[in-house]
Structure 1
Amino acid sequence: MAQSSGAIKGEVVDHSGQSIPYANVLIKGMGKGTTADEHGIFELGGLAAGKYNLVASSIGFKGIQRSVDLGSGEIVEVQFILRNESLNLAEMVVSASRNPESIDEVPSSFTILPRKTLDESMIVTTNIIDILSNNVPGLGPSTGTSSNWGQTLRGRPLLIMVDGVPQSTPLRNGSVDLRSLDPDLIERVEVIKGATAVYGNGAAGGLVNYITRTPRTEKAFNSRTSIGSTGSLSNIDNSMGSRLSQMFYGKAGKLDYVVSGVFEQTGEWKDAEGDVLPPTYGLGETDSYNAFLKLGYDMSPKHRLQFSYNYYSSEQKTNYISEFGNYEEREKTKAVLGTPQGVPQGVRGNHNASLRFSGKEAFGNTNYEVDLYYQSVDNVFFQSDVFIDGGQSLISSDKKGLRFQFNTPLLSSNNINGSVLYGLDLMNDVTSQPLVDGRQWVPEMDMFNTAPFAQLKMDFFDELVFKGGLRFEKVNIGVEDYKTLATINTSTGEVNPSFDVKGGELTYNTWLFNTGLRYNKWKYFSPYLSFSQGFSVADIGVMLRSARVNDMKDINTEPVVVNNYETGFLSEFDLFRFEAVGYISTSELGTSGKFVDGVFEVLRSPERIHGLELVLDAEVTSNLTAGVNYAYVEGKMDVNDNGSYRDSEDTYLGGERISAPKMGAYLRYILLDEKVSFKLQYSGVGNRDRFEKNEAGSYDVYKAPVEAYHIFDLAASYKVNSNITMNLGIQNLFNEDYFPARSQWFTRSNLYTKGKGASFNISAIINL
């Protein structure tokens, strides 16, 4: 067998013949690939005789494909010549199937933000929520705060991960999980849109996977230093902030490493009128820390051991309190000097640790991965009068998980390639929501999740890609007997008394399916269609804390299974790339809510959501690139549960679920041999007005109209030499005076805050 195995060797270079270090080389349809070394040299071994379609790609270059005929025991040498790609488009995705794939093997919609895009965005802002909102069609508009509540993906909750480790807590979703680490530590962001079960519980609307930095060098020691300062242009007084990021990385023999630390301190954030933004979910006067370590050891050419640890905290230490405004009179909530009650709000501490063992070409030429991970986080919220004598809640969550994953080629011929990905996911998630003073609001929920899965992929004639798979979710959630916490109706002043609730165990067993087709014969028209299901336990914590029955089994805690139907196409020409996708998302149970007598209640009516996303990127000239995107989403509840969404009783989903139409555009200009670059970015939100006023002549919570607003950002960069780059960013360039979408549809005075006014960010990056 060893004598019959062949290999494909080669190099990846640019048009001038210079090597492209650390380029990716993948075999389409097999889920197998490698990374070239610092000289652009690669090797793929252990291959049976047959025809192989290889894709080579690298950030900054346009990926290309070549077919190679390999005889028994033969060694074939090939050369890939890549041309520069100014559109910042990635050629590889991992999160769609947990295995490296070229983008034309994925029959669904996704967005990838490579490091180059992140670098451009960080010239303007280091808030990852703003960065994602500006670059991901389908993701709701930025809240401008530390909270991503109301920022859904295609109208449904999303799962946040760091290197595949879940950051989200579906048991009690506090919507502060997008800020899980500093963006300077991210190699790329992969956003998979639409319901997916590939990583398990919580991805009803899709997932966001932050893939952390990996050293791409053969040098033993490298250094990257970033120094910056920020401030308000509408009123600079007390607004100055500072930032320092230091990274060391390298490779010595079989060992590679990344060690990094980030500290950022913001000053007062101001709106367009120069007034200090209020502290609720605020990011002004915030101290953020991030420590990161990744160690890799190549035990052999085919076996690798990798350990990573990430610690992140971001706490607001402010001298202001909120002075509530009035939505009816369009009077904004302000910040006034005062001593905040309680402890600093924000991420008290987010710990992520993972150990990964991976191997290649085991039994049946199988690649495999074993992941062991741990995540612990405490997210502290703001002081609230809903509790008797006031109080602050925090979501405390501890997750432990173990994943086994195998990828085995099924067959390889001149016309057909296939592989099957299979494995088992195990996770224990213990989550609760106490108050800082020790009172218990949401009791401890102890979930154990077991999920075997299998995914088949077939590639026919290098033109048609088929995917189909299933996953079985077995979930057990244990809750001890508990007592609800007495709360106050802030509108009437009445007290909602506490009472005893009998706990127990919730058990769910659910099969989830997915299938998809993609046809790649023509670059100018590559269509795809897919069906996928997602699963979520639907924020059980909210239901438990709002219980009005004496036994947990009488609460409607059934999970949500989402069906996502999607079709789209991709068109690529020499000068532009266009993608269009349409989707329908349905579920028999919903997760929207409303306030009844000051108490939040979850509505379980069936839901139907549909939408459209359009993306166009164009290379106007060799120095000028441009792009536009548009995302529309709408959804309704079948209140009378008769299968129709057109009855008078049926209602639209509120703003906390459905975003107003979102638009984006950019212009990028590069000159002086790429030493100087400018990027002008536009982010806009359209109008949405779906609800009538209530009997009091006002709008119910979540149901107020959203009026359009338009924000422009400017990023300028100058490369002093090969080691030093100077950057200047202006956020909200024209000092737009606006209320973010969430402030508009929420209607409550505590969050009726304006958006951030014009601000600057000056930074220098030093590479050694």
Structure 2
Amino acid sequence: MYKPLGTFPLLLLAAWPFHSAIAQNKPANTKDSVQQKKLGEVVISASRRPVTLDHVPSSVTVVSKKMLENDMSFTTDVTDILAREVPGMAPGSQTNSNVGQGLRGRSVLVMIDGIPQSSPLRNGEVDLRSIDPAVLERVEVLKGATAIYGNGATGGLINYITANPMGNKPISGRTSVNMTGGLVGLKNSVGGRFSQMLQGRAGKWDYITSGVYEQTGEYKDANGQLVGPNYSLGETETWNAYAKVGYHINSRQKLQLMYNFFRSQQNSNYTLVNGDISKGIPATGVLGKTAGVPTGSKGNHNVHLVYQADSLIGGTSLTADAYLESRDDIFYVSFGRFEGGDGQSHTLDKKKGLRLMLNSSLLNRNGFSGNISYGADLLNDITSQPLVDGRVWVPEMNMLNAAPFAETQFTFWQDLILKAGVRIENVGVKVKDYTTLRLTNADGSTITPAINVAGGNLNYTAKLFNAGIRYNKLPLFMPYFSFSQGFSVSDVGLALRDSKVNDIKKINTEAVLVNNYELGFVTEHRGLRFEFSSFLSTSKLGADMIFDPNTGLFNVSRTPERIYGFEAALSYAVLKNLDLSASYSYLEGKADTAKTGGSYNVYLNGRRIAPPKMTATIAYRPIKALEVRAQYMGVQGRDRFVKNAKGVYNGNEGPVKVYNLVNLGASYKLNAKTMFTMGIDNLFNEDYFPARSQWFMQPGFYAKGRGASFNLGIAITY
């Protein structure tokens, strides 16, 4: 149970909704609109109402449609795209799993148009691969703890914004075909991709629909050897079906329905051969039938209905939406781990949600303007993790989450932005009586016995605040500061399945409350934009996965944590046809294992803290129809731990060695309707282990990264 932390004076202003009919209809030649054009008119969802990027007093990265299309000439793996484009995000692993790929050392809430894909009840860490990037308009990444969209975003949120209909034709479309494969070990590595999009407008209706199919070949490393098949994206079949239909009731009201289906499963012709970490021998595979059913996302369904109304009484706007989400994610087979034989688990997650938000102007006179967004969220999330054969590993958890919220934003003298908000979480989780599975060693001896556990209700309440300030007077130095809180029920399912007691009330299922402090600034001058942000993230309880070498199991450590770091990002239009961008991010974190209240004595492991990361991109357009891009990502080393008594590193604590990756891509527009694309991933055929392969210290996941590979495509619009 969390108690209120105090009252922010700015929130008192939210109680008096002074309205102005012209609050959001300023003349185009005002200083404010000129400033927006200078700083960019990117619309984001860092608050519950759309705002421009220069009005956000915290660090946000927007991956635009253009950036997505450029990156897709190398890879369609959205986890790899985000790792290259988002400072502060951990590097990807080129697998179906995003284990360890958090933001600023904490968990991420992944959403599609605001629909949560993550389930903090049982975090399977597969939520980043929830949709194909071809149907996205952009990706909005808010870094640092936030409660804007509910619990689970202790490290930030990633919102996949789906495409909207464009143009005024009754029908138009785009067809693209790609061929992919390895440049080293071409045999059996060739794959293909087909994407079809149609869109149009007719009267009050508009629509967009899309279908994507992709089949990858075998993934080969820099030596032409098969990459270990555990969760590999090689030999993977992906489907995505997307549709959005809108009806404009009148000039101020709109109704929109969206549906998206995503499936991505590996059907490998190989069985796993474990790697030998001590000798540097990578995991690979031999021909043979893979045990169990195909791993990956068996199906992820999202349905979203939105009603929007503008300029109601007093200029108030209304957004009401309802959504359904259902997903089934299948994991690899655990041999000899469970009583009764081998087991393969899958997470089942079903969500139903309702949201209501009103936005009203507060005042607009004498250089002052403001607004308040207020409403409530209601979410029912039912999550479990059974084995595929029906045995119960994690029982069904039925969560009901109700949360009223309010958020204000004020602009003073058109340059000083103040923002403050509050959200009250009320969470209840129901669990029926269940029995844990007895876990065994390879010889069948018991590691943990089966225990009959009495179910019951788990209840959480939390009052969460955010506040920020930004000053945009001087383009050369636009500083900002923010304080925000995040809340998560912190993988209740993991605690339930590993229970050593007979009653859930005796299990430590206390939620995680995170305080995030951020200080940064933006510099803009002509074609240059530079942003620097530093942050500190603290929590009285953590959820660190600690490996026990005696049992071979991971346990959750609930100790105080302190994480800090900084990020820098630069973009520069050197010439009209030459653009440069670069970024650097650094992160460190420690835990107070003795719970002394201030002595953070143990480093957080690699699952939480990513090594430093550098990125850079050069885009050159020698002629109007041709663009050539070179992309770099460098993952620096991290070595914080010592070997255990057995002479090996504990799980999640392996040292990470440096590796550097370069991509080369080009796009050529033959005419107004036809474009050719070419991409080479890992241009210099770097022989490396991705960061997760190194720190995870699991022989089955000690797989190398993909060697040099190609992607050739043609796209036709009409």
When normalised by structure 1's length, the TM-score is 0.89
Where does residue 40 of structure 1 map in the other structure? none
CA distance in structure 2 between the partners assigned to 1:536 and 1:391 by the alignment = 29
Match of 2:480 in 1: 528
The alpha-carbon distance between structure 1 residues 242 and 302, as it changes in their structure 2 partners (threshold 3 A), is same
Amino acid at match of 1:757: G
Q: Secondary structure at the match of 1:393?
A: strand
DSSP 3-state at the match of 1:390: strand
Alignment CA distance shift 1:722-1:439 (3 Å): same
Partner of residue 468, structure 1: 420
| Cα pair distance change 1:82/1:716, threshold 3 Å | farther
- 2: distance between equivalents of 1:90 and 1:501? 56
Q: Given that residues 457 and 466 in structure 1 are in contact (C-alpha distance below 8 angstroms), is that contact kept between their aligned partners in structure 2?
A: yes
Task: Find out whether 1:623 has 2:577 as its counterpart.
Answer: yes
Partner of 1:751: 701
Q: Quick check: 2:637–2:655 contact (8 Å CA) kept in 1?
A: yes
1:104-155 deviation per Cα after TM superposition (whole angstroms, max 9, x unaligned):
1100001001101111011111111111001000000111111110011000
Q: Deviations over 1:287-343 (max 9, x none)?
A: 111111100000010000000000010111111011011111111111111111111
Q: 1:719 aligns with which of 669, 672, 693?
A: 669
Residue 654, structure 1, aligned to residue 618, structure 2: no
- Cα distance 1:512–1:54, how it changes in 2: closer, same or farther (>3 A)? farther
Please tell me the residue identity of whatever aligns with 1:635.
Answer: G
Give the equivalent residue in structure 1 for 2:555.
601
What residue identity is the alignment partner of 2:642?
E
Contact 1:488 1:598 in 2 (8 A): no
| Pairing 1:210–2:160 present | yes
Aligned twin of 2:368: 416
Hey, what's the Cα distance between the residues in 2 that align with 1:718 and 1:493? 63
CA contact (8 A) 1:514 1:532 kept: yes
Structure 2: distance between partners of 1:638 and 1:187: 42
Matches within 5 A, 1:508-519: 508-519=460-471
Q: Distance in 2 between matches of 1:336 and 1:326?
A: 16
* Structure 1 equivalent of residue 283 of structure 2: 333
- 1:3-22 → structure 2 map (5 Å cutoff): none
Q: How far has the Cα of 1:66 moved from its partner?
A: 3.3
Query: Quick check: 2:20–2:362 contact (8 Å CA) kept in 1?
Result: no
Cα 1:491–1:171 shift into 2, 3 Å: farther
In the alignment, structure 1 residue 639 sits paired with structure 2 residue 593: yes
SS at match of 2:643: coil
**Is residue 23–residue 363 contact of structure 2 (8 Å, CA) maintained in 1?**
no
Letter in 2 for 1:654: N
Distance 1:415 1:51, change over 3 A: farther
Unaligned runs of 5+ in 2: 1-13
Instruction: Find the partner of 1:496 among 448, 459, 463.
Output: 448
**Where in structure 2 are the equivalents of 1:128-147 lying within 5 Å?**
128-147=78-97
Alignment-derived partner of residue 663 in structure 1: 614
Map 1:113-132 → 2, pairs under 5 A: 113-132=63-82
Partner residue of 2:261? 311
SS in 1 for 2:279: coil
Partner residue of 1:425 out of 377, 381, 390: 377
Alpha-carbon offset, residue 715 of structure 1: 1.1
Pair 1:138–1:490, CA change in 2 (3 A): farther
Partner of 1:486: 438
Q: Distance in 2 between matches of 1:120 and 1:167?
A: 25
Counterpart of 1:66 in structure 2 is 30
Contact 2:105 2:563 in 1 (8 A): yes
1:567 aligned residue (508, 519, 525): 519
Change (3 A) 1:178 1:51: closer
1:403 to 2:367 alignment: no
8 Å CA contact 1:489–1:599 kept in 2: the answer is no
Task: Check conservation: 1:52, 1:67, Cα contact below 8 A.
Answer: no
Counterpart of 1:265?
Answer: 215
Shift of 1:49: 6.0
Alpha-carbon distance between aligned partners in 2 of 1:50 and 1:216, rounded to the nearest angstrom: 28
Residue pairs, 1:294-443, within 5 angstroms? 294-385=244-335, 386-388=337-339, 389-443=341-395
Name the counterpart of 1:3.
none
Letter in 2 for 1:260: S
SS at match of 1:671: strand
Partner SS, residue 278 of structure 2: coil
Q: Indicate the SS of the match to 2:121.
A: helix
Match of 2:50, as an amino acid? P
Question: Alpha-carbon deviation of 1:496?
Answer: 2.5
Amino acid at match of 2:579: T
| TM-score relative to the length of structure 2 | 0.95
1:701 equivalent in alignment to 2:651: yes
Matched to 1:394, the amino acid is: H
2:411 pairs, out of 436, 452, 459, with 459
Residue of structure 2 equivalent to 1:12? none
* 1:646-680 deviation line (CA, Å, top 9, x unaligned): 5xxx200000000000110011101212x000110
Structure 2 counterpart of 1:170? 120
- Which of 226, 236, 240 matches 1:286? 236
CA change 1:54–1:534 in 2 (3 A) is farther
Q: Secondary structure in 1 aligned to 2:277?
A: coil
Match of 2:141 among 163, 173, 191: 191
Pick closer, same or farther for the CA change 1:692–1:49 going to 2, 3 Å.
Answer: closer
Which AA in structure 2 matches 1:622?
K
Tell me which residue corresponds to 2:8: none
**C-alpha contact 1:419 1:456 (8 A) present in aligned 2:** yes
Task: Write the letter of the residue equivalent to 1:267.
Answer: G
Could you say what secondary structure the match of 2:695 adopts?
A: helix
Paired residue for 2:177? Answer: 227
- Which residue identity is paired with 1:289? W
Q: Secondary structure at the match of 2:138?
A: strand
